[in-house]
């Protein structure tokens, strides 16, 4: 009973059915927008099917969150099981089969082969020389001869299956005990992991301390951002630095099981200094807000000024290069560009710094090693599957010789090899 | 800058013109098989198209300093270049002009989509945002393009297979009907010439008598069937040729697709820490992979041949197009752009 169950799981048609149904479900998932609130579906899918609103059917079927629904995960699990069963029940035995060199001793076995020769004499020494020249491994047993080449292509599909299982297991592990958090930290500040975006059932969030030492961006001549960098330190419980690295996009920081990515950035405020007289001064922090226009982002702020007789200013920042454009708040006219350290007109205001925040993502995914292992072997094995597995048999008697061969891929190449073998037959 | 614009205009126009001309000449060579001249011209012009796309992309590479796969326009040209090159390799190997006839309309479609409908702003090479500056991404995009091209050729051959299979099926089914028509035609012409009134039954008796008397034992029915058999034979050969090459192309393209998807996942993991986020582009790449995986299993393990896998491969053809272009018109794709723009927080 159990054996029958596993055998039916290993059935190829079932596996193909699973593959195609996964394909259909994920295509639905890409068409219907995922993980929105109920109102969204109510507005977008109001039509009725058999007098039931479509959005209700959608929610009941779990199509609003296909990729995390229990039946989709079950389907993926079923695929994994099916692959495992197929590998254990079907693929591994055939591998053993081909390693135990396997002679064809009956004439009718030769009838099924695609390439065959029937003659009455064979020059075995010449044939074996040709076989060795073509890099075949061959075995002889009384009047039988068996030769094969490219056993690795037999292993290829097994590795493919095993690595897909690896990837599935790794992603399960990641979903169970991994987490993902995103933080927006002003430079020079110390922080913990706080803003968790996703986490699994068994995730442990480590209470580690980090410090953003600095954040800066570099630009191309045309004014487009080239790369942004965050200098980040990993601190111990006493606040002293253990590790330090400058991260950038595509260059994350690995600390044991945590990975820190550079993702976003933002200007959070302007730091100004108001010189009341020659001795005393006040430090001010001016909040700044972000404006998205078509394809461009600006940061804007203003100096509040209650004295009507003095000028009002608007500050406009285009990027993170430390240059600020000043505009007149009354008539909106451009006044001038100033840099960090400059004084702002007659007001005794001095621009001390532009405080920016770095957006970083901290992730822990214990499954990633397994997944990368799977990826690596998947890449290797998909190349290995190009090799063809070729076999060649001879059965000879004093007056009669039967011979044949087969291959699973490069038929043309095998045809040429087979012509060479034919020369040894008389 | 002006000179560069002019020269990219020149390339644009010549690429479009060449692909249009080679299409026309391939169509001519299909219809006028006895004139070799058209085939030669078509081949030469399609070589010219390949070369001009290649040089155009290469010049963009040297001009802007990054691999010419930075936007949709360049990827369209890149894909057309690989498609052209791939079909020319096949044509050289098989000496059959079929591949050109099948592939060139696709190339023309791609090129006219890229050059006529994409706005000029999108044709210009734009600077790469930081997330796109990755070697994994370059590997990902170029392998994906390569696999798309090879899979497109393979699945296109499958569509042609289904078309010619349906035609052949119809032809075989209508054989008795056609024989009836042929017989009627002969009877009619005999009646007209001899001024007699021969019925169907009398004619068949007559046929048997004639067959008995003639030294070659010629039977009109046998003659007719022989003619039909030759036609069916050539068509069956064409079918098995199509089936074989479609399978070969798909089994070549599939590993590239696998490695391409993996390179993309590795890049995504390096860039923003998630190797798979189910955005439509990823999803459809996976759907493509699943469909062709099913196809290869059906062929290799179950041993199916002919129309059933071909139907699956034809579905694959549509899916590749959705994956490459169609996804851009989906609602959710903004998520992709947003991610690339790194404004996820």
**What pLDDT is stored for residue B340 in this prediction?**
39
- Helix (H), strand (E) counts: chain B: 12, 0
Residue A19 structural domain:
2-88
Local structure of residue B275 (DSSP, 8 states): S
Give the mean model confidence (pLDDT) for residues A140-147. 85
Where among A69, A88, A107 does a domain terminate?
A: A88
Whether B271 has its CB under 8 Å from any CB of chain A: the answer is: yes
Tell me what percent of the residues of chain A surpass a pLDDT of 90: 16
Does A78 have pLDDT greater than 90? yes
- Is A61 domain-assigned? yes
Q: State the smallest CA–CA distance between residue A316 and chain B in angstroms.
A: 20
What is chain A's percent helix, strand, coil content, to nearest 5? Answer: 35, 35, 30
Interface contact B284-A30, CB threshold 8 A: yes
Query: How far apart are the C-alpha atoms of B199 and A405, rounded to whole Å?
Result: 58
| Whether pLDDT at B332 is above 70 | no
Same domain, A413 and A401: yes
Which tokens is A290 given? 């972000």
For residue B131, the 8-state DSSP code is G
CB contact under 8 A, A29 and B278: yes
Dihedral angle, C-alpha A126, A132, A135, A140, nearest 10 °: 100
- Cβ neighbours around A380 below 10 Å, total: 15
In a domain, A233, yes or no: yes
Higher pLDDT, B334 or A299: A299
Split at pLDDT 50, 70, 90, the class of B333 is very low
pLDDT band at B258 (very low <50, low <70, confident <90, very high): very high
* A334 and A219 housed in the same domain: no
A212/A231 Cα distance (integer angstroms): 6
Q: Which residues pair with A350 in a beta bridge?
A: A273, A343
Say how many domains are in chain A: 4
Residue B215 has pLDDT above 60, yes or no: no
Query: What's the rounded Cα separation, in Å, for the pair A8 and A10?
Result: 5
Q: Return the C-alpha torsion angle A207, A212, A213, A214, nearest 10.
A: 170
> Residues B110, B147: contact at Cβ < 8 Å?
no
User: Do residues A278 and A350 both lie within one domain?
Assistant: yes
- H/E segment holding residue A258: strand A258-275
Q: Are A171 and B344 in contact (CB < 8 Å)?
A: no
Distance CA B95, CA B97 (A): 7
- Please answer whether residues A122 and A394 qualify as being in contact, where contact means their C-beta atoms are separated by less than 8 angstroms: yes
Domain membership of residue A416 (yes or no) is: yes
Q: Residue B294 and residue A67: Cβ atoms within 8 Å? A: no
Q: DSSP 3-state assignment of B124? A: coil
How far is it, in rounded angstroms, from Cα B255 to Cα B296?
11
d(CA A129, CA A125): 6
Contact assignment for B290 to A23 by CB distance below 8 Å: yes
pLDDT in tens, B175-212: 888 888 888 888 888 888 887 777 777 777 777 777 76
Whether B127 and A224 have beta carbons less than 8 Å apart is answered as yes
The share of chain B scoring above pLDDT 90, in percent, equals 35
pLDDT greater than 50 at residue B96: yes
Q: Does residue A245 carry a pLDDT above 80?
A: yes
Q: Which of A315, A337, A357 finishes a domain? A: A357
Tell me the C-alpha distance between B42 and B47, whole Å: 9
Question: At A272, which helix (H) or strand (E)?
Answer: strand A258-275
Q: Which of A171-175, A277-281, A298-302 has the lowest mean pLDDT?
A: A277-281
H/E stretch holding A349 reads strand A349-364
Same domain, A130 and A26: no
Q: Is residue A234 part of a domain?
A: yes
Which residues, in sequence order, are CB contacts of A186 under 8 Å at separation 6+? A212, A268, A355, A356, A357
Q: Count of alpha carbons within 13 Å of B155, Cβ hemisphere only?
A: 25
List, for residues B259-318, the tens digit of each pLDDT value.
999 999 998 888 877 888 888 888 999 999 999 999 998 988 777 888 899 999 999 999
**Does residue B29 contact residue B53 with C-beta atoms inside 8 Å?**
no
Tell me: the pLDDT tens digits for A368-381? 999 999 999 999 98
| Contact (CB<8Å) B262/A379 | yes
- CATH number of the domain that residue A126 is part of: 3.30.310.80
Q: Please report the pLDDT score of residue B80 as a whole number.
A: 94
**Yes or no, beta carbons of B273 and A224 under 8 Å apart:** no
Indicate the range of A36-50, A293-307, A407-421 predicted with least confidence: A293-307
Rounded CA separation B53/B50 (Å): 5
Q: Rounded distance, CA B148 to CA B249, Å? A: 11
Given its phi and psi angles, is residue A365 left (phi above 0), alpha (psi -120 to 50 degrees) or beta? beta
By CB atoms closer than 10 A (0-12, 13-18, 19+), residue A42 is: middle
Q: Which residues of B touch A29 (CB under 8 A)?
A: 278, 283
Which of B254, B287, B300 lies nearest to residue A26, judging by beta carbons? B287
Q: Which two tokens stand for residue A191?
A: 């922080």
> In which band, very low, low, confident or very high, does the pLDDT at A308 lie, cut at 50, 70 and 90?
low
Quick one: pLDDT band at residue A142, thresholds 50, 70, 90? confident
- Domain check: are A398 and A271 in the same one? no
Cβ proximity of A259 and A363 under 8 Å: yes
Question: Of A260, A259, A257, nearest to A366 (Cα)?
Answer: A257
How far apart are the C-alpha atoms of A270 and A256, rounded to whole Å? 36
Higher-confidence position of B31 and A209: A209
What pLDDT, on the 0 to 100 scale, is given for residue A60?
84
The verdict on A276 and A414 lying in the same domain is no
| B337 reaches A (C-beta below 8 A) | no
Q: Which residues of B touch A263 (CB under 8 A)?
A: 272, 342, 344-345
Q: What is the pLDDT of residues B113-141, one digit of tens each?
A: 888 887 777 777 766 777 777 888 888 98
| Average pLDDT across chain A, whole number | 84
How far, in Å, CA of A166 to CA of A164, rounded? 5
A169 falls within a domain: no
A259 lies in the same domain as A271: no
Q: Are residues A363 and A225 in the same domain?
A: yes
Helix, strand, coil shares of chain B as percentages rounded to 5?
85, 0, 15
Judged by average pLDDT, the poorest of A408-412, B163-167, B281-285, B335-339 is B335-339
Per-residue burial over B94-114, b if 16 or more Cβ lie within 10 Å, else e, is: eeebbbbbbbbebbbebbeeb
- Torsion, Cα of B235, B236, B238, B241 (10° steps): 180
Across the interface, do B344 and A383 touch by the CB < 8 Å criterion? no
Mean pLDDT, rounded, for A251-271: 86
Per the CB < 8 A criterion, the answer to whether A379 and A295 are in contact is no
The DSSP secondary structure of A59-94, one letter per residue, reads HHHTGGGGGGSHHHHHHHHHHHHHHHHIIIIIIHHH
Question: If you count residue pairs, one on A and one on B, with CB atoms under 8 Å apart, how many are there?
Answer: 112
Task: Quote the pLDDT of residue A246.
Answer: 93
**Are residues A257 and A276 part of one domain?**
no
CA distance B43 to B18: 11
pLDDT of residue B163: 94
Q: Does B338 touch chain A (CB under 8 A)?
A: no
Q: How far is A308 from chain B (nearest CA, A)?
A: 39
Residue A166 forms part of a structural domain: no
Joined tokens for residue A122: 């064979």
Kindly give the residue spans of alpha helices, DSSP state H, lying in A134-203: 152-177
Q: Which helix (H) or strand (E) holds A209?
A: strand A209-219
The per-residue pLDDT for B345 is 23
Residue A78's φ and ψ, nearest 5 degrees, are -60, -40
Q: In this structure, are A241 and A363 located in the same domain? A: yes
End-to-end CA distance of chain B: 38
- Mean pLDDT for the stretch of residues A243-249: 90
Q: Which of A88, A123, A158 is the last residue of a domain?
A: A88
DSSP letter (8 states) at residue B115: I
Is A377's Cβ below 8 Å from some Cβ in B? no
Cα–Cα distance, A383 to A379 (Å, whole number): 7
pLDDT-wise least confident of A126-130, A191-195, B67-71, B79-83 = B67-71
Cβ distance A65 to A117 under 8 Å?
no
- Identify the bridge partners of residue A300 per DSSP, sorted by sequence position: A289, A316
Q: Is the pLDDT of residue B151 over 70?
A: yes
Among positive and negative, which fits the CA dihedral A253, A257, A263, A264? Answer: negative
The verdict on A252 and A363 lying in the same domain is yes
Average pLDDT, chain B: 84
Residue B144 has pLDDT above 80, yes or no: yes
Residues A38 and A63 in one domain: yes
- Quote the CA–CA distance of B295 and B306 in Å, as a whole number: 12
Residue A200 placed within a domain: yes
Q: Do B300 and A408 touch (CB under 8 A)?
A: yes
In a domain, A158, yes or no: no
Which residues contact residue A181 at a Cβ distance below 8 angstroms, ignoring those fewer than 6 apart? Answer: A193, A194, A195, A196, A197, A205, A361, A362, A363
CB B162 within 8 A of CB B169: no
Distance CA A259, CA A372 (A): 15
pLDDT at A362 over 50: yes
To probe the interface with A, which of B290, B300, B315 has the most A CB atoms within 10 Å?
A: B290
pLDDT at B75 over 50: yes
Contacts of B275 in chain A (CB under 8 A): 368, 371
Collect all residues with Cβ–Cβ distance below 8 Å to A158 and sequence separation of at least 6.
Answer: A87, A91, A92, A95
Q: How confident is the model at residue A311 (pLDDT cuts 50, 70, 90)?
A: low
Question: How close B275 gets to chain A, by Cα (Å)?
Answer: 9
Q: Which two tokens stand for residue A152?
A: 């690795």
Q: Please answer yes or no on whether A30 and B330 come within 8 Å at the CB atom.
A: yes
Residue A276, classified by CB atoms within 10 Å of its CB into exposed (0-12), middle (13-18) or buried (19+), is exposed
């Amino acid at each position: 009973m159990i054996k029958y169950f596993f055998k039916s799981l290993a059935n190829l048609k079932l596996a193909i059915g699973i593959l195609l149904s996964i394909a259909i479900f994920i295509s639905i998932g890409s068409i219907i927008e995922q993980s929105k609130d109920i109102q969204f579906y109510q507005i977008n899918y109001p039509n009725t099917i058999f007098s039931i609103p479509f959005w209700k059917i959608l929610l009941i079927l779990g199509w609003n969150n296909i990729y995390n629904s229990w039946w989709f995960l079950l389907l993926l699990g079923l695929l994994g099981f099916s692959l495992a069963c197929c590998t254990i029940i079907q693929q591994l035995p055939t591998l053993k089969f081909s390693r135990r060199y396997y002679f064809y001793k009956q004439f009718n076995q030769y009838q099924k082969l695609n390439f065959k020769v029937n003659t009455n004499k064979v020059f075995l020494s010449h044939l074996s020389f040709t076989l060795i020249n073509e890099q075949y491994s061959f075995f002889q047993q009384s009047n039988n001869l068996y030769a094969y080449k490219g056993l690795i292509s037999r292993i290829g599909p097994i590795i493919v299956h095993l690595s897909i299982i690896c990837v599935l297991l790794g992603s399960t592990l990641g979903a169970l005990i991994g987490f993902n958090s995103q933080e927006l930290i002003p430079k020079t500040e110390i922080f913990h992991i706080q803003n968790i975006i996703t986490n699994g059932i068994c995730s442990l969030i480590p209470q580690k301390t980090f410090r953003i030492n600095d954040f800066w961006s570099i630009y191309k001549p045309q004014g487009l951002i080239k790369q942004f960098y965050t200098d980040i330190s990993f601190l111990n419980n006493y606040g002293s630095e253990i590790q330090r690295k400058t991260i950038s996009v595509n260059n994350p920081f690995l600390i044991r099981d945590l990975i820190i990515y550079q993702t976003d950035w933002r200007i959070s405020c302007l730091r100004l200094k108001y010189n009341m007289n020659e001795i005393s001064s006040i430090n001010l922090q001016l909040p700044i807000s972000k404006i998205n226009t078509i394809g461009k982002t600006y940061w804007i702020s203003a100096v509040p000024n209650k004295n009507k007789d003095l000028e009002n200013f608007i500050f406009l920042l285009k990027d993170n290069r430390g240059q600020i454009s000043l505009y007149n708040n009354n008539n909106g006219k451009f006044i001038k560009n100033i840099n960090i350290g400059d004084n702002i007109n007659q007001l005794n205001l001095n621009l001390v710094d532009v405080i920016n925040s770095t957006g970083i993502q901290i992730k822990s995914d214990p499954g990633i090693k397994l997944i990368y292992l799977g990826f690596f072997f998947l890449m290797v094995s998909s190349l290995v599957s190009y090799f063809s597995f070729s076999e060649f048999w001879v059965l000879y008697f004093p007056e009669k010789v039967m011979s044949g061969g087969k291959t699973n891929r490069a038929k043309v190449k095998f045809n040429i090899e087979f012509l060479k073998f034919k020369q040894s037959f008389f | 800058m002006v000179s560069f614009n002019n020269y990219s205009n020149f390339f644009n126009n010549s690429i479009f013109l060449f692909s249009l001309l080679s299409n026309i000449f391939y169509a001519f060579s299909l219809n006028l098989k006895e004139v070799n001249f058209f085939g030669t011209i078509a081949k030469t012009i399609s070589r010219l198209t390949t070369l001009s796309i290649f040089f155009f992309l290469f010049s963009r590479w040297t001009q802007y300093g990054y691999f010419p796969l930075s936007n949709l326009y360049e990827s369209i040209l890149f894909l057309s270049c690989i498609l052209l090159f791939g079909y020319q390799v096949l044509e050289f190997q098989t000496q059959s002009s079929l591949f050109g006839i099948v592939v060139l309309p696709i190339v023309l479609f791609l090129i006219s989509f890229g050059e006529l409908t994409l706005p000029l702003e999108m044709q210009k090479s734009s600077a790469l945002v930081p997330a796109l500056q990755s070697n994994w991404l370059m590997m990902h995009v170029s392998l994906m393009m390569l696999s798309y091209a090879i899979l497109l050729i393979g699945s296109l051959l499958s569509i042609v297979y289904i078309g010619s299979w349906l035609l052949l099926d119809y032809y075989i089914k209508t054989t008795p009907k056609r024989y009836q028509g042929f017989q009627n035609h002969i009877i009619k012409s005999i009646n007209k010439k001899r001024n007699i009134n021969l019925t169907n039954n009398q004619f068949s008796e007559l046929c048997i008598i004639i067959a008995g008397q003639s030294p070659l034992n010629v039977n009109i029915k046998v003659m007719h069937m022989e003619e039909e058999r030759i036609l069916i034979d050539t068509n069956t050969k064409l079918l098995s040729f199509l089936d074989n090459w479609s399978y070969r192309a798909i089994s070549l393209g599939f590993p590239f697709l696998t490695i391409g998807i993996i390179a993309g996942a590795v890049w995504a993991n390096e860039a923003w820490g998630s190797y798979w986020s189910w955005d439509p582009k990823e999803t459809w790449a996976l759907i493509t992979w699943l469909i062709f995986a099913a196809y290869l299993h059906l062929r290799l393990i179950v041993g199916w041949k002919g129309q059933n896998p071909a139907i699956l491969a034809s579905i694959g053809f549509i899916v590749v197009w959705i994956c490459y272009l169609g996804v851009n018109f989906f609602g959710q794709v903004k998520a992709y752009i947003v991610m690339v723009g790194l404004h996820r927080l």
